[in-house]
Amino acid sequence: MTLTEIALLVIVITFAVLVLALVPTLLAVRKSAASVGSLADMVHNELRPTLKELSTLVAELKTVSAGVSEHTDDVRRFMLSLGEAGENLHTINRTVGVVTGVLSSASVWVTGAKVAGKYAIERYLKKRGGK
């Protein structure tokens, strides 16, 4: 065998090994492509109803947000009224506190006057009765 024949034989053997290794790879790529195609079809079929539902949901959210924005003035007025009611209750509470303090002081003064009056009467009676 000549050197050229040996080189050709090595090339043929190498080519045969390459083809034998490449055939299973090509079959796996073919199966993968078919699987990816079926997956793309499934995603496309499932995605269409989902997008439709999302469009409906967005429309409903727009309606709800429009309703909320219409009633923000009502909520603002309610909160202002609630604040005014709180201020009025605070004023009433302060007034009741002042009146309670005055009544308490008056009660102490009246009690003091009674005790002082009794003491003064007793001293007066003792002085008169003792002389």
**In the block, residue with structure tokens 């409906």:** 56
Structure confidence by residue, pLDDT tens digits, 36-88: 999 888 888 888 888 899 899 999 988 888 877 778 888 888 889 888 998 98
Rg (CA), the chain: 52
Label residue 8 by pLDDT band (50, 70, 90): very high
At 5, list the tokens. Answer: 């024949």
Report d(CA 45, CA 112) in Å as an integer.
95
Structure confidence by residue, pLDDT tens digits, 88-101: 899 999 999 888 88
User: Where along the chain do its domains lie?
Assistant: 1-100
Model confidence pTM above 0.75: no
**pLDDT at position 9, please?**
93
